[in-house]
Structure 1
Amino acid sequence: MAIAQSAAAFTSAVRFSRPRHSRAAPSRVAASVATPEPARRLVAAFDPAIPLASAVTPPSGWYTDPDFLRLELDRVFLRGWQAVGHIWQIKNPNDYFTGRLGNVNFVICRDANGKLRAFHNVCRHHASLLACGSGQKSCFQCPYHGWTYGLDGVLLKATRISGIKNFNKNNFGLVPIQVATWGPFVLARFDYGFSQETVDDVVGDEWLGTASDLLSRNGIDTSLPHICRREYIIECNWKVFCDNYLDGGYHVPYAHGNLASGLQLQSYETLTYERVSVQRCESAQAEQNDFDRLGTKAIYAFVYPNFMINRYGPWMDTNLAIPLDAARCKVIFDYFLDKSLLDDQNFIDRSLKDSEQVQMEDIALCEGVQQGLESPVYGVGRYAPSVEMAMHHFHCLLHANLSE
């Protein structure tokens, strides 16, 4: 009966929400987005109260509708702590990097005194972007008209303003964003939930909840040097990539033959916390002198809404899934390695090659799923209760945010 009710809700929702152009880019995100009726129906079509064994997945419109993505940007991504980078990007004074989330462009930097800061990457004169990419700067000078800001956000110079009236440069500094670190990760918050002076005291509890102790005990370590970054543009909704990550190893024996041979898949277990799910798996015993990048166990932590931390053997890598439009996302991979292996270039190259193979296999899966989601014959699916509990947990968290 519950399944029939949910399917009926989906049918009603999809009648009003099937997008004509699934790849339309999201519009500018306002401070608070009123929920369009089609998106509201899509949210309501998923019932988190139905037990996992009887539940149906969210309707395909969650993955194809541009208005639904706009709602996600407002209710999910621009509220609460978001992973935006790692500490090696801003290791030294004057280091900076930039990013974009929805309609928010931001810059993270360390000022000359080593203080971590973050700002909206927008000149207060005529809205030009101030900085791009990453590197080192002693100040931010607008490439449009030369207005110049310190790395503390203070307006240092406003050019050609003789004769201007009612202007106080103290009111035209860069607009700040809350920023903090947890372990090796840089986090930003765009909704001003706390004063900057208190963020370091609460960020762990806010971001990870009671999972923070488990992650700390499992080698999520600030001392692991950063090796490299790889970025992928994938033709799928950002949640398709997350769902693929959260299926409890369900797809591994079918899609990742080489990876499956290195894992004891029968040992897979899943733990769920407030905003985190953790999948753990033991590795197969490697023969002596064999190449072994996985070590004795692997831990895969998903931090809601879009950040993944993988710790295995001497490696840690992270995956950050950033929505670009309703059917396209960018996934950023960062690789970290134990110091003892930094000089073993052969080990590094072979490990990255194996990882790249897994990514290519996953990209093919995700892009195939997106095409299926856009088919008129697909509505909702089902969960495999023994393995897909983390995916269901993710969907329930989304529903809670989107229903606010």
Structure 2
Amino acid sequence: MAAARSLAALSSARATRPGPRRAGAWPPRVSAAVARAVAAEPEHARRLVAEFDPAVPLDAAVTPPSGWYADQDFLRLELDRVFLRGWQAVGHIWQVKNPNDFFTGRLGNVEFVVCRDANGNLHAFHNVCRHHASLLACGSGQKTCFQCPYHGWTYGLDGTLLKATRISGIKNFNKNDFGLVPIKVATWGPFVLARFDDESTEDDAGDVVGDEWLGSASELLSTNGIDTSLPHICRREYIINCNWKVFCDNYLDGGYHVPYAHGALASGLQLQSYETLQAYERVSVQRCESAPSEPDDFERLGTKALYAFVYPNFMINRYGPWMDTNLAVPLGSTKCKVVFDYFLDKSLLDDQNFIERSLKDSEQVQMEDIALCEGVQRGLESPAYGVGRYAPSVEMAMHHFHCLLHANLSG
């Protein structure tokens, strides 16, 4: 069994574990099935990890091999060791602003639902009925309970099994053992975070979560307005025919590609000011100043832009009155979904012309980036390419990203 299925193996072991326990509880230790799954990781995926050496200085280093971007077994290893461990960004607070709000998502083979109960408490669960594994909810919206569309089993927004239909005559059944399986959930600023490797459900203070998720970059992002709860304007999703890391690499090249690929954007920036401020434990921060503008110019970018990459796949862009976020979700070894969420200062909420022009300009940049990323993916799959090199003066954040991946994948 592939490594990325270890969570599924854990769920299976959990469902058959004997003895009483609280509703939805996970077993306290990793099951033998998980240990076997990890041991069965494909040897060639481990060899691909070893082909990148993070100890080589940036100016002498080569990039990860093309197999990192096209191999299905390598993606399974990433899902198990990168995405299903530690805090992951999964949404924003405006999706669960009110009691009974919910939204769903998928990461690898994990289906999840995040909701706010009638008392205002935030919860997250595996979006799987405990009867015969049907998905419970889809999309987003409001519900007072989750009713399985297959056989009608019904759960409260706190995960409790409220109703199990047509089970008269069943033996050795305690409905308290069949609540939804919980996922640890928390918020930092406007972002909703989940941990798929931690079965505890006790609340975490925001600063503790921030320190775990952002490390020492937490204060920097706070002081630059990242944790401000700007109103959410809209969401746009793009399916891109490239590995999820291709999109991240494009983001992390220190503005290298901007003058060649984004002519309109480049004209509004002082590209000579583009810099990587610092690479923190799990965060790298880039910054660029805007070009001087005339009084009547369209001011989307403000005076400076801050770009924060939060390992492994979340990007936060703060510029002028706007903040937008990009979440790169793997759909396969050569396909990903990138979710854009746009947030805007309250003072401009009624300026529809400004909003429409801003989103149009942003859309143009996304289309240009999609073309770039899909072209890179095709090149990575070509027999002509094995490894590349870094531009030391601008691609230090990309190298940092690759080193973090290596540490997770080899540890």
- TM-score with structure 2 setting the length: 0.91
The structure 2 residue matched to 1:301, chosen from 301, 308, 320, is 308
Q: CA offset at residue 377 of structure 1?
A: 1.2
Task: Report the secondary structure of 1:223's partner residue.
Answer: coil
Which of 154, 161, 168 does residue 167 from structure 2 map onto?
161
2: CA distance, partners of 1:224 / 1:268: 25
Tell me the residue number matched to 2:383.
376
Letter in 2 for 1:171: D
Of 208, 218, 226, the match for 1:212: 218
Instruction: Give the Cα–Cα distance (whole angstroms) in 2 for the partners of residues 348 and 48 of structure 1.
Output: 43
- Alignment-derived partner of residue 4 in structure 1: none
1:33-182 alignment, distance < 5 Å: 33-34=38-39, 35-182=41-188
- Aligned-residue offset at 1:201: 5.2
Alignment check: 8 A CA contact 2:186 2:204 kept? no
Equivalent in the alignment of 2:24: none
Return the letter of the residue paired with 1:123: C
What is the match of residue 400 of structure 1? 407
Distance, in Å, in 1 between the alignment partners of 2:199 and 2:49 is 25
State the alpha-carbon separation in 2 of the partners of residues 298 and 265 from structure 1.
11
- Displacement of 1:150 in angstroms is 0.1
Structure 1 letter corresponding to 2:109: N
Equivalent residues in 2 for 1:196-211 (5 A)?
196-198=202-204, 200=206, 202-211=208-217
Q: Distance in 2 between matches of 1:155 and 1:338?
A: 41
| Whole-angstrom CA distance in 1 between matches of 2:309 and 2:69 | 19
The 2-side partners of 1:146 and 1:230 are apart by: 33
- C-alpha change, 1:141 and 1:315, in structure 2 (3 Å) is same
Deviation at 1:286, TM superposition (A): 1.1
CA shift, 1:248, in A, is 0.1
Of the candidates 389, 393, 397, which is equivalent to residue 390 of structure 1?
A: 397
Q: Offset at 1:194?
A: 5.4
SS in 2 for 1:197: coil
Cα separation, 2, equivalents of 1:192 and 1:273:
24
- Does residue 264 (structure 1) correspond to residue 270 (structure 2)? The answer is yes
**What is the count of residue pairs matched by the alignment?**
379
How far the C-alpha of 1:197 sits from its partner, in A, is: 2.9
Task: Give 1:269 shift.
Answer: 1.3
Structure 2 Cα separation of the partners of residues 293 and 220 of structure 1: 17
Distance in 2, Cα, partners of 1:201 & 1:174 = 28
SS at match of 2:327: strand
2:207 and 2:273 mapped to 1: Cα distance?
Answer: 36
Measured in 2, the distance between the counterparts of 1:133 and 1:27 equals: 28
The residue number in structure 2 matching 1:250 is 256
Separation (CA, whole Å) in 2 of partners of 1:107 and 1:371: 34
Which position in structure 2 is the counterpart of 1:29? 5
In the alignment, is the contact (CA less than 8 A) between 1:95 and 1:135 conserved in 2? yes
Counting only pairs closer than 5 Å after superposition, residues 224-243 of structure 1 correspond to structure 2 as 224-243=230-249
Contact 1:179–1:196 (8 Å) recurs in 2: no
Partners of 2:140 and 2:358 in 1: CA distance: 26
SS in 2 for 1:227: strand
**Offset, 1:243:** 0.1
Q: How far off its partner does 1:81 sit?
A: 0.3
CA distance in 2, matches of 1:198, 1:295: 35
Q: Distance in 2 between matches of 1:162 and 1:199?
A: 44
Contact preservation (8 Å) 1:96, 1:109:
yes
- In structure 2, the CA distance between the partners of 1:38 and 1:199, relative to structure 1 (3 Å rule), is farther
SS in 2 for 1:161: coil
Out of 281, 295, 319, the residue aligned to residue 288 of structure 2 is: 281
- Contact persistence 2:105–2:111 (CA under 8 A): yes
Q: Secondary structure at the match of 1:29?
A: helix
Alpha-carbon shift at residue 113 of structure 1 (Å): 0.1
Identical-pair percentage: 85
Aligned to 1:8: none
State the Cα distance separating 1:206 from its structure 2 match. 0.7
- The Cα shift of 1:30 comes to 1.5
- CA deviation map 1:139-177 (0-9, x unaligned): 000000000000000000000000000000000000000
1:196 is paired with a residue whose SS is coil
Going from structure 1 to structure 2, the CA distance change for 1:328 and 1:160 (only over 3 Å counts) comes to same
- Write the letter of the residue equivalent to 2:384: V
Does structure 1 residue 192 correspond to structure 2 residue 168? no
For 2:283, give the aligned amino acid: V
SS at match of 1:57: coil
Change (3 A) 1:199 1:172: farther
Contact 2:232 2:344 in 1 (8 A): yes
Task: Assess if the C-alpha contact under 8 Å between 1:80 and 1:193 holds in 2.
Answer: no
* 1:195, distance to aligned residue in structure 2 (A): 4.8
Residue 314 of structure 1 corresponds to which residue in structure 2?
321
Tell me the secondary structure at the aligned position of residue 155 of structure 2.
strand
TM-score normalised according to structure 1 size: 0.92
Residue 195 and residue 143 in structure 1: after superposition, are their counterparts in 2 closer, same or farther (change >3 A)?
closer
Q: Return the alpha-carbon distance in structure 2 between the equivalents of residues 200 and 207 of structure 1.
A: 10
Change (3 A) 1:99 1:299: same
Q: Distance in 2 between matches of 1:283 and 1:201?
A: 32
Q: Does the 8 Å CA contact 2:244/2:336 hold for their aligned counterparts?
A: yes
Unaligned runs of 5+ in 2: 8-33
In 1: Cα distance, 2:392 partner to 2:178 partner:
54
Amino acid at match of 1:100: R
Tell me the equivalent position of 1:364: 371
